[in-house]
Each structure stands twice: as structure tokens, then as C-alpha cells.
Amino acid sequence: MSRFISVFFALVLLALPATAMAAYVIKPGDTLQIEVVEDSSLNRTVLVLPDGSISFPGAGTVRAAGNSVDTVRHALSSRLAAEFTAPPSVYVAVQKLYDTDEFMPEKAKIYMMGEVNSPGMLEVEKGITLLQAIASAGGFTRFAATKRVELHRVDPQTHAEQIYLFDYKHHKGISGGTLLTDGDVISVPERHLFE
């Protein structure tokens, strides 16, 4: 009987990480490990972008943030099905959680340039969103190309710059609720003559 109880508890302990992984809601900044059993050349680690999406070969852009690992796995398998004779076996795991303390100190320095009423550096509380930062800079000028706002972010590990587009007018591109991090640059270009 005691052996049965020991085996039962061992199985419960082994199941806990899988249960926790299934219940976890993916967030922007998390790193996912994706494996496709039928084609190992597709296996890779992907970063969940600030707008909550990931890009994967053959599947395009997939919404990850706000979803479970299982939901992302199913979406990838469905999108990749056209590339295979049968839907592929896809495995998704959260490799690394986004550490907000690592990337966002208590105060963040955000830089605003271009067609905002008060360009320059803003020292803001952590957790400020893209729209809040634009509002803190006095909003757009009347010459702002609100369809072509750019968020420039440098990856702290690779030092590569990423540019994310935000269309304020049509609510396209990244979300206005995208959280900003220290060093982000928001560039608002001047609109064209008939824009």
C-alpha cells in the first residue's frame, strides 16, 4: 500500500509542471521553443513581440500573447497543415518568461521625436503604454502622420534594433496598449501632402 502511495505522489509531482504550463497565459516578451516533429529544420526559439504575435515559417504571424501553450500549438499545427500530407505534430513550450524587472526599472527613459507637441526624453513610471507616452508628450501635432508611428526598440541581448509600426488612425500594427521599456524611441513622421 505504501508503495502505491509513493508511486501516486511521484506521478502527481511529475504532472505539476505540465499542468502549470497548460494553464500559463503567454505574455509579450516570453520566449517560446517550438518543435515540428515531421520537419526538424523548422525547430526554433521565438520571441513573443510587443504586439503579442510570433512569426513562424509556413505559418506566418500567429497571435500568442493571451493564449495558452496548447492554443498556440493548435494554431501552428492548423496553419502548417497545408505544407504536410497530414497535420504535423507541433510542440510548444515556454523557454523563458519575460522578466519585467530585468528590462523595466522603476523609472524608464522614453524618447519622443518628430511630430509630437513636446519631443524629447520622458522619464516615466514603468508600465507606461505607447498611447500614454504619446499623450505625455502633448499628443500629435497637426502635421503628424498618425498612420506611420514607429516604435524603435533595441534588444538588450543582441543589441539589434527592431522597428514596430503603429497606425493610430486605423488601429493597425502593434497595439496602442503596448508596454514600453527603458530606451524605447517613438518616432512620429511628418505626413505627406495628401495623406
| Measured distance CA(195)–CA(180) in Å, rounded | 28
Give the domain extent around 81. 2-98
- Is 195 contained in some domain? no
Closest C-alpha to 60, from 79, 74, 45, 77: 79
Together in a domain, 30 and 92 = yes
Same-domain status, 116 and 148: yes
What's the confidence (pLDDT) of residue 99?
64
Pair (29, 107) in one structural domain: no
Instruction: Please identify which residue in the block is written with the cell numbers 509630437.
Output: 116
Largest CA distance in the chain: 82
Q: What is the mean pLDDT of each run of 10 residues along the chain (195 residues)?
A: 43 43 78 90 88 87 90 91 86 80 66 93 87 92 92 85 90 88 92 79
Q: Judge whether 174 lies within some domain.
A: yes
Predicted pLDDT at 116: 93
CATH number at residue 131: 3.10.560.10
pLDDT at 194: 75
pLDDT value of residue 95: 86
Rounded Cα distance between 54 and 65, Å, is 9
Confidence (pLDDT) at 17: 46
Q: Is residue 151 part of a domain?
A: yes
Q: What is the total count of domains within the chain?
A: 2
- CA 94 – CA 76 distance, rounded (Å): 15
Per-residue confidence (pLDDT) for residue 73, from 0 to 100: 92
Task: Identify any residues that bridge with 44 across adjacent strands, giving them in sequence order.
Answer: 34
